[in-house]
Chain A
Amino acid sequence: MDERREDGRPGDVDWRERRGADPSESREAPGGPPTEERQEPLHPAIEDDAEETRRLAETWAAPTGFVGWFTPVNQRIIGRRFIVTAFVYFVLAGLLGVAMRLQLAVPENDLLAPDIYNQFFTVHGTAMMFLFAIPVLEGFALFVVPMMIGTRDMAFPRLNAFGYYVYLIGSAIFFLMLVVGMAPKAGWFNYVPLAGKLYEPGIGVDIWTTMITFIEVSALTAAVELIVTILKLRAPGMTLNRMPVFVWASLVMAFMIVFAMPAIIVASSLLILDRLVGTGFFVPEMGGDPLLWQHLFWFFGHPEVYIVLVPALGIVSTIVTTFTQRSLFGYTAIVISIVATGFVSFGLWVHHMFATGLPHLGMSFFMAASAMIAIPNGVQVFCWIATMWGSRIRLATPMLYVLGFFWVFVMGGLTGVMVASIPFDLQVHDTYFLVAHFHYVLIGGSVMPVIGALYYWYPQLTGRMMNEVAGKISFALVFVGFNVAFFPMHQLGLDGMPRRVYTYLEESGWGDLNLLATIGAVVLAAGFATTMVNALASLRWGAKARRNPWDAETLEWATESPPPPYNHRHIPIVKSREPVWDWREMKERPVVTGLRSDRREVVVTSILDAEPQAVQVLPAPTIWPFLSAVAASVGFIGILFHPIFFVVSFFLAFFSFVGWFWPRRPWQED
């Protein structure tokens, strides 16, 4: 296949032996010990035919040219687009955050008018959640998971492309509203009646609800894709209990999206109906209830936090395994914790509503449930510590971000447990204590692992390495800047500073800590900027990555950097949780044969045991997903101006879907 295959670093063998030192924990895999394979009679080796490899590449190649921009369906291209677009919004929303910090640096500042400030924090929150956090984690999942489970694409490549265009159109229109000064300004949570037509007469909230629905649709398509791909397209032999933790985390994230996102779709649909046609779901005078909005919003909103946390914890598990060169300690416990987090996160939403005057006893259930979430997260943290125990950790940038994650995430988790307490929450709810808490959780628990993931998977994204020196500088700036920016906010909250205020009085005494927080925010921004510049510069000047540069154990590294269009020359067969490490020990590996190279074929396997069941023929590149996304956009935007667009888009979407799904001739070939 490739002559770069076995150029591991010196010292690898040493690590190999240590990894296997505890067979009862790490090497236990159903189907007997891995040595069994070697004792069987030697299988005839497969030599790759260069002509067939070329044909395979041709079949899976993405189209080129201008029209080609709108037609590719390959999972790595779509995943990369998600990641790049999400980081663009990360930068933009981050700049809004810096602008807000500058406004708050001194009391009674008039850098930003209140109206502008309110637009900024609304867009900052919405964009960080919907335009950055979810898409970037989906992007990494879409990019990495198919390679990690040893297949060649997602189960529905065209749906994948559709999801991206919907996200792109929705997010671009949403952000453009800010440029023309008509962005929503009722907060990312859009509490009614403030977000109702009476108090927010402009088009901002309409655009918010519509664009959020767009981005939800995109998230839901990605979620279904991930679920089906993970359940049905895993490499033969990758039983559920051999799935990499990141794949488990992506699966749980996808299930959470499937059950949480409909709540925000329902909520925002009811809100837009209230605003456009005068229904009364949230209008008390008509028998509606503003609290219904809060229930629906937080029934989505709380799982949402774990939607962006769970896959990030999966990234942490991945990086810890690779950079300690150890089997993950307590794989089963970690997987159970991830699944438990997914379930419990649906029982917590009322803890956002402790101050609404619901009956105290009823809320106590949510107090207990909210505190219980500490257990699965605690288990994961201690499993990582056990994995790292006594190892020689390779202190490259991804690992540094994970170490920073420990500091920041644990502190955010501890304050999170505190605010589960109803009486304490009633004092700090909607204050800067909460701002500090959730930035510790979200930046520590999600953004820092994501930045680590960017450094970690950059070779597979681009074929090059990111600069290590810049990476370490970036980490230092982020870690110091973050803590200087957000730690003082705990005290500000205890001192009574509420959230979402565009300024505060001089007499309040909050000036010094706010100035400190602003200085920290600028340092933090410089840290993130260093990574962004590093990522751009490394595209051109980064060192070429060798195969499997981090000596990782999962299948996305079992191919070249960057991978060819078909990901894996042969779909591999897996016999343990760490296939790449196995193969290096055994110097041979089993693969799947019999897939055609003249059309896009992948192996379908059974859900539990990953036994080959069938072959799925994937569709080729096409413009239809793009046209469908445009059709849906015309309808969703048009409906804000005239109801007839509901009917128009129904038929536009219908025709584009027919074009999308119409079977290819000749039918007999299938």
Chain B
Amino acid sequence: MRQYSGADVSGLTRFSKQKHPLYVGILGLIAIELSVVALLTVSCLYLMLTAPAWPPAGLEPAPLLWPSINLGLLIASMAAMRVAGNRITAGDRRGLIVGLLTAVSLHALVLVFRSLEMAAYDFRWDDHVYGSLMWTISGFHFTHVASAIVGTLVVAILAVKGYFTPERQLGVVVDTLYWNFVSAAWIPFYLALYWGPRLI
């Protein structure tokens, strides 16, 4: 069979960002994790709404202060990541590194506060299902924040080595995408765990 050229792709970019399959792939990963977040939240609400008392009799709802501060820190870290992305688009490698490290520090602070907060719980995960939920969901989010930190540290190391350019910044883009998910995932947990007991 005769064949002829219907499209010449030699001139197309090899450096796409939002159009790159990896970008869509990270969206897929986020969709999966979002389902996990949703199911954990719904399970929490299910147990909360079917329980005779929530939290169990004799317990006060967990204090609001530290988780609220964490929420602020997580949102601030999203802004830092955004700035970092803008800097590298403008060709400012230094700005990228500073932005990434700021975001990492904010997340690290979240881990510190979370550890202190969990250490201060006056119940264990095997006391009652309320405790199980508090520990499991906090631990789940803790692990995600930790993995976002180590992942972004690798991106920062590559940035120091000069890997990223205004053109080649897919790594930063997808890392930011996942970072934003990890940070925002705290919102439903925060509402269900800390506001839920106060609102029902």
A residues with CB within 8 A of B: 1, 5-6, 42-46, 155-156, 159, 220, 223-225, 227-229, 231-233, 236-237, 258-259, 261-263, 265-266, 270, 273, 277-281, 283, 286-289, 292, 295-296, 299, 570, 573, 583-584, 587-595, 601, 603-604, 606, 612-617, 650, 654, 658, 661, 663, 667, 670
Contact A258 B125 (CB under 8 A): no
- Residues of chain B within 8 A (CB-CB) of A5 are 1
Contact B4 A44 (CB under 8 A): yes
* With A220-B32, A588-B3, A615-B14 as contacts: A287 and B154 at CB distance below 8 Å: no
Contact B39 A224 (CB under 8 A): no
- Residues of chain B within 8 A (CB-CB) of A616 are 14, 16, 20-21
Contact A265 B129 (CB under 8 A): no
Complex alpha-carbon distance, A592 and B47, angstroms: 56
Contact A46 B4 (CB under 8 A): yes
Contact B24 A232 (CB under 8 A): yes
Which one of B96-104, B143-151, B180-188 is at the A interface?
B143-151
Contact B16 A270 (CB under 8 A): no
- Residues of chain A within 8 A (CB-CB) of B105 are none
* With A654-B147, A663-B158 as contacts: A614 and B40 at CB distance below 8 Å: no
Contact B29 A224 (CB under 8 A): yes
Contact B146 A650 (CB under 8 A): yes
B199 at the binding interface (Cβ < 8 Å): no
Would you give the 0/1 interface string for B30-70, flagging 1 where the beta carbon is closer than 8 Å to chain A?
01110110011001001100110000100000000000000
Contact B1 A263 (CB under 8 A): no
- Residues of chain B within 8 A (CB-CB) of A591 are 3-6
Candidates A156, A299, A601; contact of B25 at CB < 8 Å:
A156
Would you give the 0/1 interface string for B105-142, flagging 1 where the beta carbon is closer than 8 Å to chain A?
00000000000000000000111111111011000000
Contact B9 A612 (CB under 8 A): yes
Contact A592 B128 (CB under 8 A): no
Contact B132 A286 (CB under 8 A): yes
Interface of A is mostly: mixed
B residues with CB within 8 A of A: 1-16, 19-22, 24-25, 28-29, 31-33, 35-36, 39-40, 43, 46-47, 50-51, 56, 125-133, 135-136, 143, 146-147, 150, 154, 158, 163, 168, 171
- Residues of chain A within 8 A (CB-CB) of B31 are 258-259
| 12 CB-based A-B contacts, threshold 8 Å | A155-B24, A223-B28, A232-B19, A262-B32, A279-B136, A288-B47, A289-B46, A587-B1, A594-B9, A603-B9, A603-B12, A667-B163
Candidates B28, B46, B132; contact of A228 at CB < 8 Å:
B28
* With A617-B14, A670-B168 as contacts: A590 and B7 at CB distance below 8 Å: yes
Shortest CB distance A70–B (Å): 23
Contact B1 A287 (CB under 8 A): no
Known: A231-B24, A266-B39, A601-B14. 4 other contacts (CB 8 A): A45-B4, A46-B5, A258-B35, A259-B35
Contact B25 A590 (CB under 8 A): no
Contact A573 B15 (CB under 8 A): no
- Residues of chain B within 8 A (CB-CB) of A237 are 6
Using CB atoms, name the residue of chain B closest to A263: B39
Contact A292 B25 (CB under 8 A): no
Contact B20 A281 (CB under 8 A): no
Shortest CB distance A179–B (Å): 33
- Residues of chain B within 8 A (CB-CB) of A223 are 28
- Residues of chain A within 8 A (CB-CB) of B143 are 650
Contact A613 B12 (CB under 8 A): yes
Using CB atoms, name the residue of chain B closest to A606: B19
* With A155-B21, A590-B5, A658-B154 as contacts: A270 and B136 at CB distance below 8 Å: yes
Complex alpha-carbon distance, A145 and B26, angstroms: 21
Contact B8 A45 (CB under 8 A): no
Contact B39 A583 (CB under 8 A): no
Complex alpha-carbon distance, A111 and B11, angstroms: 70
Contact A295 B40 (CB under 8 A): no
Using CB atoms, name the residue of chain B closest to A233: B21
Contact B24 A228 (CB under 8 A): yes
Shortest CB distance A604–B (Å): 6
Shortest CB distance A53–B (Å): 13
* With A258-B28, A273-B136, A279-B135 as contacts: A589 and B1 at CB distance below 8 Å: yes
Complex alpha-carbon distance, A155 and B21, angstroms: 6
Shortest CB distance B18–A (Å): 10
Complex alpha-carbon distance, A270 and B1, angstroms: 59
Complex alpha-carbon distance, A152 and B48, angstroms: 50
Shortest CB distance B132–A (Å): 4
Contact A280 B128 (CB under 8 A): yes
* With A279-B135, A296-B43 as contacts: A570 and B154 at CB distance below 8 Å: no
Contact B6 A573 (CB under 8 A): yes
- Residues of chain B within 8 A (CB-CB) of A262 are 32-33, 35-36, 39
Contact B21 A604 (CB under 8 A): yes
Complex alpha-carbon distance, A233 and B35, angstroms: 26
- Residues of chain A within 8 A (CB-CB) of B130 are 287
Candidates A231, A281, A283, A593; contact of B8 at CB < 8 Å:
A593
Complex alpha-carbon distance, A233 and B24, angstroms: 12
- Residues of chain B within 8 A (CB-CB) of A46 are 3-5
Using CB atoms, name the residue of chain B closest to A287: B129
- Residues of chain B within 8 A (CB-CB) of A658 are 154
Interface centre among A584, A594, A612 (most CB of B within 10 A): A594
- Residues of chain A within 8 A (CB-CB) of B13 are 614-615
Contact B126 A279 (CB under 8 A): yes
Contact B43 A270 (CB under 8 A): yes
Contact A590 B28 (CB under 8 A): no
Complex alpha-carbon distance, A161 and B103, angstroms: 33
Using CB atoms, name the residue of chain A closest to B39: A266
Contact A287 B126 (CB under 8 A): no
Interface centre among A225, A587, A593, A595 (most CB of B within 10 A): A593
Contact A594 B11 (CB under 8 A): yes
* With A278-B126, A281-B129 as contacts: A614 and B24 at CB distance below 8 Å: no
Contact B1 A583 (CB under 8 A): yes
Complex alpha-carbon distance, A584 and B2, angstroms: 10
Contact A287 B56 (CB under 8 A): yes
Complex alpha-carbon distance, A595 and B10, angstroms: 6
Shortest CB distance A281–B (Å): 6
Contact A590 B4 (CB under 8 A): yes
Contact B125 A279 (CB under 8 A): yes
Using CB atoms, name the residue of chain B closest to A284: B129
Contact B47 A287 (CB under 8 A): yes
- Residues of chain A within 8 A (CB-CB) of B22 are 155-156
Interface centre among A45, A261, A614, A658 (most CB of B within 10 A): A614
Using CB atoms, name the residue of chain A closest to B33: A262
Contact A277 B125 (CB under 8 A): yes
Shortest CB distance B4–A (Å): 3
Contact A292 B46 (CB under 8 A): yes
- Residues of chain A within 8 A (CB-CB) of B154 are 658, 661
- Residues of chain B within 8 A (CB-CB) of A583 are 1
Shortest CB distance B188–A (Å): 14
Shortest CB distance B25–A (Å): 5
Shortest CB distance A588–B (Å): 4
Candidates A44, A45, A570, A604; contact of B19 at CB < 8 Å:
A604
Complex alpha-carbon distance, A281 and B135, angstroms: 12
